[in-house]
Amino acid sequence: MSARLVRDMGALRIVEPPVAVPGYEMAMLWHERCHRDPAHRWLREHIARSV
């Protein structure tokens, strides 16, 4: 969850974890038939902007 969303919720706060947390990578995968689909492309763009 992005820090902006947490901040705007009010009841939640951001704290440092008590132990080291290893980094990670995120990836989006989709079937080739969806690659040029306008609705799927729109959804992928919105997901990419939100993370």
**pLDDT tens for residues 1-42?**
566 766 676 677 778 999 999 988 889 999 999 999 999 999
Domain boundaries, the chain: 24-51
Q: What is the pLDDT of residue 5?
A: 67
Which are the contacts of 12, defined by CB distance < 8 A and separation ≥ 6?
6
Distance, in Å, from the CA atom of 18 to the CA atom of 15, rounded to the nearest integer, reads 9
The per-residue pLDDT for 23 is 87
Q: Which residue has the tokens 């990419």?
A: 48
